[in-house]
A and B are shown apart, each in its own frame.
Chain A
Amino acid sequence: MRETRSSGGATMRIVLGISLGAWAFVGLARGQAEEAPDVVLEEDPGPGLERVALDLRVLGTGTAPSELVQAGLAPAGELLRIDRGARHGVALADPVELLPRGGAVHRGTVAFVDERTALVRLFGDGVRLEPGVPGVVRVLPAPSNSPEPGGVGTSPGDEALNPGDADGADERPEWQRLRDSWTPDMPLLARVTAERPEQRAFAWGGRWYTRAGLATNLDADRGSASSRTGAVLWAENPFGAGGELDLDVEYDLQTTFVPSEDGHDSGHSRLRFDRASYRLGGTRFERDRHTFGRFLPELPELGALDGYEWSRRLEGGDRIGASVGYRVQSDLDAATGNDLAFSGFYRWVADERELLTASAGVQKSYHNGDRDRDLLVLRFDHRPGFGLDAGEAWDLHGSVLLDKYSDEDFREDGLGLTRALLETGRSWDAPGGKQDHLRLSYRHLELPEQLFGELDPLALASLVREDEDRVQAEGGRWLAEDRRLNGAVSVWTAGGLEDDSGGDLEVGLELLDLAAYGPGQGPGTGEVSVFTSGGRYQATNGLLASYGRRWDTVGWTALYEAKQTDFDGFDADNDDLLQHRLRVTADLAPSLGEWYLAGHADLLVFGDDGGLTLGVYFGRSF
């Protein structure tokens, strides 16, 4: 196998250095090419060498690093990004031809190269090419082991697909698979065999994690300690029927300690299963899906169940389903066995891409045999901005939970709005491949009157009359490649006993290129923001500043926050509270996706009191 001109292990720094030198070298030729775009810039590779045409695809657009642009070594403005880079043998000034549909041929030269992609400057103005447009870049062959024309896997691009095969190819066992029993009397375009779920090999994986925390006051005589250790496991085709097994289990320990004269320490430990389910079907070969055990239904707003759900994918992509089981309560114990629920749902999709969907679900539940909750769920999603073909578009998400009340309840007859959520947002391309964004949301929350939980009558009287409405706008705009302006504003009202209203405003600046202090590589990053919030009985103003640095997979952040809260209705000596928070965090992920370690220490001072919190988290995927 041949070697590419830049090895696959070349670092970005090396590539930048090469780029700087080579750019200066070919600068004159590039200028000539701009003046005479019809000339294909293809320097003489030398005696006996011919350039190799390397297939490529357009990935999108990008800009050269600002330091190169400022030094005059790279062109400013938007360039075209292609999916071939130094590891494929691409170098500065290599000629590129792009072949969009319609027969046009656009030519250009490579203006910047990194390891896996390159930026191309096209001859001519106003040319816009979409991602996916094919083309070729003509690269110089490697110094030795020239590719064999027509050979499979002999072009630089093929080599990139199979790193490491130079050493190991000959050691692999000989390929023995027959051509799917094909015989000469069969058509050449026979249907490709598709593996079915039950034919797939058994596979499993998951992660486990543990986290521990300690919170104590400054006198260290009052506080709490907790730990949570859990595992999430999945298994594909565990019984040879093509199903999937899911398990999510956690063991919690918590203790609260208080001074002896105040009472006794308290604590609890519990083992909790959040998921323990087996799912069968629901594939392109089996439209019916059956789920048993403890699971979250397809319409998650219906809540976790211990039971069974059936669903079917209809022609066109709509789904219909029904379930029966005991509701799992949303408390620490995940108690079950009291609330028997019968549910059904229908999910409509505008087309098979499922960019526009609407769902409706109903659930009728009985608490220890007594009629309890009649729930109606409505939900819709419009997500044109998602997916590989994402463009700049508004997405829209909404969900509504309605509870039906009758004469037997404390409230008047009819439907009560328990929860409503409406969100919309979109993003815009910003310099440096970043994105500005804006999100608007409205939320209504009202606690439903339910029998389960067996609440204390006093608490129930308070709870059932709680409701809240909130409108919020949040956005971020990149002012430059290294700084973003963030802002958020919201207003809210709380009805019922709370009878309050208020709002908040926050403006902040996120900085990615700060002077370097403390351990780490590259520049520091940080954030400064000011905020204010107010309600009927209190108002808070504050500021926050953070700074951190990273190595590749290790990072730390220090954060300081101060906020002043003024309380209405108190005398002057006792009507305000100044709170300081100093927090240091560190995280370590030496092998992304395999294991992760994080910790924090948090010092809080308010008035004459304060506290300290410590926490550590360790997780490992397998």
Chain B
Amino acid sequence: MERGRHAGLLLKAALVAVIAAGCALFQEVDSYLEGGGLSQDVGQHRWWNGFGPVLSHEDFPADCSMCHLGNDWHELVEDFEFDHGLETGHELAGAHTQAACLRCHNDRGPVRVFEARGCTGCHEDVHQGSLGASCSDCHGETDWSEASMLGRSAIDRLHRRSGFELVGAHALTSCDRCHAGSSRGLFGDAPKSCEACHVGDLQAAKAPDHISLGWVQRCDECHQPLTWQEAEL
């Protein structure tokens, strides 16, 4: 039975992988045949070789003083404004509207490459790859911190989909009681078995003595997660 379940899951996973890889490959081949595929991007090649400013100024007004102040390129005029959406067709949202230009347009890589990498092109993946690439499932653009990004329903959904419905006392427990690295964005290390977190309670359970009786697993066969104080028989 167990083996069958695993086989079924692996089969589904393989199916997902094959479909996705097939779609991706088809697109790549299609793009290649159209001439826009795996070719060198001349503009980026020039960029990496240090030609010109970080951001192309070719379409900018010829009067440098409209934006630059003084006799170097470091300082911008006090009333400098640049409508990113209007001028580039790429509207900035949330905190990005206040970001300094050089945070995205800098010498570490063409901004189009950063964007191609998704959010992690600029924001390091503090989850260390454990949560995948869909940052927008949890994060908004106004503020990056978890307090503003995850509604209660989103937290409940994530737990439901992981097979650990937040019921009773668990629905009131702070994240770091189970996810030790939660304040650092690390959530992947929380086992679902009761004894993994409640091992101290298990060792303290002497009436009856759970360990001597061999009651060290599957606590939820007898207990419900109802109260703060102790599990209820």
Contacts and interface: CB of A to CB of B under 8 A. Distances in A.
Which of A209, A217, A285, A609: most chain B Cβ within 10 A?
A: A609
Contact of A152 (B61, B108, B148, B183): B61
A301 B108 contact: no
Interface in B193-222: 193, 195-196, 199, 202-203, 216-218, 220-222
A270 to B, nearest CB: 10
A355 interface: yes
B172 A611 contact: yes
Which of A203, A296, A471: most chain B Cβ within 10 A?
A: A471
B129 A301 contact: yes
Given A352-B48, A493-B9, A462 B193 contact: yes
Contact of B168 (A160, A258, A498, A577): A577
B130 A419 contact: yes
Contacts of A252: 183
Interface in A483-515: 488, 490-502, 504, 506
A557 B16 contact: no
A338 interface: no
A211 B147 contact: yes
A419 to B, nearest CB: 7
B142 A592 contact: yes
B51 A194 contact: yes
A160 B74 contact: no
A131 interface: yes
A282 B108 CA distance: 6
A285 B95 CA distance: 29
A470 B112 contact: no
Given A203-B102, A422-B17, A491 B89 contact: no
A609 B216 CA distance: 27
Contact of A388 (B68, B89, B124, B202): B89
B172 to A, nearest CB: 4
A383 interface: yes
A442 B50 CA distance: 42
> For chain B, which range describes its interface: under 10, 10 to 19, 20 to 34, or 35 or more residues?
35 or more
B65 A175 contact: yes
A398 B129 CA distance: 10
B194 to A, nearest CB: 9
B126 interface: yes
A471 B79 CA distance: 52
Contacts of B203: 458
A271 B231 CA distance: 33
B138 interface: no
Interface in B60-99: 61-66, 68-75, 77-79, 81-83, 85-90, 94-99
Contacts of A500: 163, 192
Given A224-B174, A559-B153, A396 B21 contact: yes
Interface stretch (A21-29, A94-102, A531-539): A531-539
A368 interface: no
B53 A195 contact: yes
Interface in A276-328: 282-285, 296, 300-304, 313, 317
Interface stretch (A34-42, A44-52, A583-591): A583-591
A532 to B, nearest CB: 9
A175 B64 contact: yes
B165 to A, nearest CB: 5
Contacts of B216: 458
Contacts of B83: 116, 160-161
Given A175-B64, A175-B65, A424-B19, A441 B125 contact: no
A75 B88 CA distance: 27
Contacts of A589: 142-143
Contacts of B142: 589, 592-593, 596
A83 B19 CA distance: 38
Nearest to B31: A384
A213 B146 CA distance: 13
Interface string B110-151: 001101111010001111111011100000001101011001
A245 B112 CA distance: 24
B63 A152 contact: yes
A383 B5 contact: no
A352 to B, nearest CB: 4
Interface string A435-453: 0000111111101000000
B108 A419 contact: no
Contacts of B47: 284
A459 B196 contact: yes
Interface stretch (A12-20, A65-73, A164-172): A164-172
B161 A490 contact: yes
A499 B45 contact: no
A303 B129 CA distance: 9
Contact of A200 (B31, B102, B168, B195): B102
Contacts of B6: 469, 493, 495
A442 B165 contact: no
A116 B83 CA distance: 9
A61 interface: no
Contacts of B16: 422, 424, 440-442, 471
B27 A384 contact: yes
A173 B129 contact: no
A458 B53 contact: no
Given A59-B89, A250-B183, A421 B161 contact: no
B54 to A, nearest CB: 8
A226 interface: yes
Interface string B176-187: 100011011010
A425 B20 CA distance: 8
A537 B229 contact: no
Contacts of A592: 94-95, 97-98, 142
Contact of B167 (A197, A382, A488, A540): A540
Contacts of A330: 180-181, 184, 186, 189
A462 B196 contact: yes
Given A284-B107, A425-B134, A458-B203, A379 B12 contact: no
B17 A352 contact: no
A607 B191 contact: no
Interface string A250-265: 1010100010001000
A423 B134 contact: yes
A592 B143 CA distance: 9
A153 B61 CA distance: 7
Interface in B5-57: 5-6, 9-10, 12-13, 16-17, 19-21, 23-24, 27-28, 31, 38-41, 44-45, 47-54
Given A191-B51, A441-B132, 5 more contacts: A283-B107, A332-B183, A384-B27, A397-B132, A559-B153
16 contacts: A83-B89, A172-B65, A282-B108, A284-B47, A353-B41, A384-B31, A388-B90, A425-B134, A471-B16, A492-B9, A495-B6, A533-B160, A538-B167, A557-B151, A592-B94, A609-B227
Interface of B: 2, 5-6, 9-10, 12-13, 16-17, 19-21, 23-24, 27-28, 31, 38-41, 44-45, 47-54, 61-66, 68-75, 77-79, 81-83, 85-90, 94-100, 102-103, 106-109, 112-113, 115-118, 120, 124-130, 132-134, 142-143, 145, 147-148, 151-153, 156-157, 160-163, 165, 167-169, 171-174, 176, 180-181, 183-184, 186, 188-189, 191-193, 195-196, 199, 202-203, 216-218, 220-222, 224, 226-229, 232
Q: Which 3 A-B pairs rank lowest in CB-CB distance, beginning with the nearest?
A: A593-B98, A424-B20, A617-B147
